[in-house]
Amino acid sequence: MSVSGSESAASANKPKYSKFTQQELPACKPLLTPGIVIGAFSLIGIIFVPIGLASLSASQEIVELIDRYDEECVTASDKIGFIQDSKANKACTRKITVPKPMKGPIHVYYQLENFYQNHRRYVQSRSDQQLRDKDYKDPKAVAKACDPEATTGDGSLIVPCGLIAWSLFNDTYAFSVNKKSVTVNKKDIAWASDKNSKFGSNVFPVNFQKGGLIGGGNLNDKLPLSEQEDLIVWMRTAALPTFRKLYGRIETDIMASDEITVVIQNNYNTYSFGGTKAVVLSTASWIGGKNNFIGVAYVAVGGICLLLAMGFVVLYVVKPRALGDPAYLSWNKEAAEYSH
Amino acid sequence: MTVIMRDEDNRIVLLCKGADTIIFDRLAKNGRLYEPDTTKHLNEYGEAGLRTLALSYRMLEESEYESWNAEFLKAKTSIGPDRELQLERVADLIEKELILVGATAVEDKLQTGVPQCIDRLAQAGLKIWVLTGDKMETAINIGYACSLLRQGMKQISLSTTAGDQVAQDAQKAAKESLMLQIANASQMVKLEKDPDAAFALVIDGKALTFALEDDMKNMFLNLAVECASVICCRVSPRQKALVTRLVKEGLGKTTLAVGDGANDVGMIQEADIGVGISGVEGMQAVMASDFSISQFRFLERLLVVHGHWCYKRIAQMICYFFYKNITFGLTIFYFEAFAGFSGQSVYDDWFMLLFNVVLTSLPVISLGVFEQDVSAEICLQFPALYQQGPNNLFFDWYRILGWMANGLYSSLAIFFLNICIFYDQAIRSGGQTADMASVGTTMFSCIIWAVNIQIALTMSHFTWIQHLFVWGSIGTWYVFIITYGMALKSRDNFQIMTEVLGPAPIYWAATLLVTAACNIPYLIHISYQRSCNPLDHHVIQEIKYLRKDVEDETMWKRERSKARQRTKIGFTARVDAKIKQLKGRLHKKSPSLTIHTVA
């Protein structure tokens, strides 16, 4: 091995120095000192516990009334036959007593269980272009998107097509408080972007529910889709098999021990697949509806962090290790063990 | 190496140069006129550490040349597996009956920095063997120059008697004598009581051919492993490769071969890592190698700095990759239980596409390229840190499974916390409930936050690039979801951040809670590990952070000198052995001194 060439040749071959290529970029090297550990856990605890308590108190103040009616509203033994009979009287009256005062607006929901709006074939069965554009009439694409609810028996297109629209929920609720009827405001229950952009204001229902089977409610042919808020709310597929969707709002307050009477038109068939239906009345707060979980979770995580902070304080007091103590280097530790 | 040419008088001359033993075997009876003088000169050159060659020639008859050339052309143009063998046989036919001319010697100095480099690598815990084609005297000289050999080392020489190439019996006898030598040497090593005694094994190419045979190679390997340094001289390129393979397979350790000439190519390719030195001897070694450097001394930096960093970077990268994909993928599986196992994913297709491509890949790349647990100077000053790699402290099953468990826990936390928070109640003060797009987008935001905060906790070296990539990935997610939400193609994600989730306190509360819940176990783990059993690089990081290396210079120097593997080669070991020797002499002298003073 001999010494390489002349000095100038060597420096001509040397690559250009830059901090990036020589990995000497200025860097901050944060260190996890005991102070930072205790500080971090304490900070998380101090922030989380108040948030948790605030959420919990908001959730506790919400009044939520749930009334399941599908079992009791059908007295006939053949429930499916009853519900599919278009001539039967499906009206059902339910009474709910209000335990605590409810400040308006009171939100009315229908709650379904065991209804898989998140099934893959169900979720895909819609044509968004058809919903917003009245001139969109590509039959092949529509048939592919909305199969099996794309066309009627004789091949004419259904608007809006697909299983989601076809299975539209069509129970109705009429409320009266202490025998005085209250109106349910059904305006602005859908998201504004849906009404303005995704459902066309010049698209009207055509041939709706004229396929082989009737899956749900009917639509008013005279109203454009952008004003059919029940349909718009229904078509936002839910994440879980148990879900609620906004039906409307009662703008007035309801006092404690008031009696609410609900006249339900029990049209929707959940009996064929073992689903359940319920009507829900609930107030809302800044965090939304009644759910203690988020408050409890925050308090729990915050509490655990405070405990951990205290635990680490104890650890650092009982087993202190001076930072940068060279006795902990492995060659010194081995020597210490060896000498013992 | 032979050249056949016509001189000015139109006669055919054959000129041959090569190693002295090879040339001497092929001399004619009347060509040995200068043999005794040349042998004396060659020994002198060898002891001076020079590389020697013997030169010889022969005059050829026309007819002899013609007939030989016909054979040679046939061998050259043959195609097949035995072309090499044929060429060798034909060359053998003409390279005989040579007349010795003399010898040459070349001073081939060691490159600058080679002894220091070998010393440092030995301190880092590497075992170093030398395989060279030079004579034994030259090789031993080089060994002394770079302190692989020193005074006080017991030298074990394995050789076979010369001139026994042909007869079967002679070969058997040579092999048996070698076996005896190895057995005696092994016995001597075993019986050695002094722990600081060092052995050096020197073996030449002829003996190596026998030692590498299947029945002897394990004995040879066991003896070689006991010795502090091994020097093989007069090895052919094929033997270099065979020795490398023997070490690799026999010991199961990782081998690195470094060489600079075409004769090192076999060895470089055989070893786990091949390093070629580009220089005067040409580029064959460089082209066959995995890494190429321009000087031998750069090998130290290559191993101790870049090897150390690379090991840690790759280990961290792989573990983190598993973690983040487990975290992401398992949430999709959990959702199936709630969607009737129909194959519906809770996330939009675009989210899943971008997850591994844009939103979480750049921080990992910056970790893999820029992460440094300690700076380059520290790596060079503390050679013992290198052993973290060979001891596999950072990629053992405990760590891999730990990261996977972390991923499993994170996926459970992300999924179930989000499902329970977004159950069936309203999410806004306006009473609207969450749909699948809202839940999916929130869950995905939680994953992005959790995974990126996790990598920020893992990194210890933050340049502007890491900051840009980590925080930028989170920011890119928000930019994406807002931009994606402006296109109607996004279906239910249309304006989801601007209209549905952005103004919803529950979204931000869920993200904060889930991110904290996912990262708290890891934070507990690293805090506990750092306080109760810190690793070497943790302690050194703390010393640098508190500037104790500047305040307490003696402590720093002392630790640096202790931070090396116990080794018996290298000039530091030579210095230590000398000190020990002097101490021993002093100890013998001092009892007589005390008697004097008392009297």
A:113-152 residues touching chain B, CB 8 A cutoff: 116-121, 123, 128, 132
Query: Cβ neighbours of residue A43 under 8 Å, at least 6 residues apart?
Result: none
| CB-based contact, A19 to chain B, within 8 Å | no
Per-residue pLDDT, A319: 86
Which residue does chain A place closest to B261, by CA atoms?
Answer: A1
> What is the pLDDT at residue B596?
44
Give residues 235 to 254 of A whose Cβ lies within 8 Å of B: 236-246, 249
Residue A3 confidence (pLDDT): 45
Rg (CA), chain A: 33
Q: What is the predicted pLDDT for the residue at B590? A: 64
Question: What pLDDT does residue B87 have?
Answer: 84
Give percent above pLDDT 90 in chain B. 53
Burial B489-526, CB ≥16 within 10 A → b, else e: ebebbbbbbeebbeebbbbebbbbbbbbbbbbebbbee
**Residue B406 near residue B521 (C-beta atoms within 8 A):** yes
Query: Are B260 and A1 within 8 A, CB to CB?
Result: yes
Burial of residue B527, with CB atoms counted within 10 A of its CB: 0-12 exposed, 13-18 middle, 19 or more buried: buried
pLDDT at site B165: 54
In chain B, the domains with their CATH numbers are 2-107 (no CATH), 114-301 (3.40.50.1000), 307-533 (no CATH)
What's the rounded Cα separation, in Å, for the pair B590 and B571? 28
Residue indicated by tokens 């808020």: A229
- Provide the Cα torsion B163, B166, B171, B173; round to 10°: -70
Distance from CA of B334 to the nearest CA of A (A): 12
Contact at 8 Å (CB) between A118 and B436?
A: yes
- Contact (CB<8Å) A298/B543: no
- The answer to whether B264 is annotated as binding is yes
Whether residue B17 is annotated as binding a ligand: the answer is yes
Q: Which residues of A touch B516 (CB under 8 A)?
A: 44, 48, 301, 305
CA atoms within 13 A on the CB side of A67: 21
Report the residue of chain A nearest B507, measured CA to CA.
A287
pLDDT digits (tens, 9 = 90+) for A174-184: 999 988 999 99
pLDDT for position A334: 76
Check pLDDT > 60 for residue A5: no
Q: Among partner residues A55, A243, A301, which is closest to B433 by beta-carbon distance? A: A243
A55–B423 CB contact, under 8 Å: no
Task: Give the sheet arrangement for strand A259-265, strand by strand.
Answer: A91-97, A259-265, A172-177, A180-182
**Across the interface, do B542 and A323 touch by the CB < 8 Å criterion?**
yes
The predicted structure's pLDDT at residue B412: 97
Q: Which residues of A touch B112 (CB under 8 A)?
A: 3
A141 pLDDT band (50/70/90 cuts)?
confident
Q: Is B51 annotated as a binding residue?
A: yes
Q: Which residues of A touch B535 (CB under 8 A)?
A: 330
pLDDT (0 to 100) of residue B591: 56
User: Is A332 in CB contact (< 8 Å) with chain B?
Assistant: yes
B426/A282 Cβ within 8 A? yes
B133 in a labelled binding site = yes
Q: Is the model's pLDDT at A153 over the cut of 80?
A: no
Sequence-distant (6+) residues with CB within 8 A of B94 are: B2, B4, B14, B60, B68
Q: Are A202 and A250 in contact (CB under 8 A)?
A: no
**For residue A48, which residues of chain B lie inside 8 Å, CB to CB?**
513, 516
What residues of A are in contact with residue B499 (Cβ under 8 Å)? 191-193
Q: How many CB atoms lie within 10 A of CB B461?
A: 21
Collect all residues of chain A within an 8 Å Cβ-Cβ radius of residue B465. 25
DSSP three-state, residue B138: helix
Mean pLDDT of A90-102: 92
| Model confidence at A173: pLDDT above 90 | yes
CB B456 within 8 A of CB B364: no
C-alpha distances out from residue B464 to A24, B306, B448, B544, Å: 12, 21, 20, 21
Rounded to whole angstroms, the Cα distance separating A263 from A91 reads 7
Q: Search chain A and give the residue with CA nearest B518.
A: A301
ipTM entry: 0.93
How is chain A split into domains, by residue range? 34-62+286-316, 63-284
From A89's Cα to the closest Cα of chain B, the distance in A is 31
pTM of the model: 0.86
| Residue pLDDT, tens place only, A196-222 | 999 989 899 988 888 878 888 889 989
Rg of chain B in Å (alpha carbons)? 35
Nearest CA in chain B to A116: B339
Rounded distance, CA B491 to CA A129, Å?
A: 10
Mean pLDDT of B267-282: 89
Q: Is the pLDDT of residue A7 over 60?
A: no
- How would you classify the pairing of strands B154-158 and B199-204? parallel
Statement: residue A2 has pLDDT above 60? no
Question: pLDDT digit string (tens) for A262-309?
Answer: 999 999 999 999 999 999 999 999 999 999 999 999 999 999 999 999
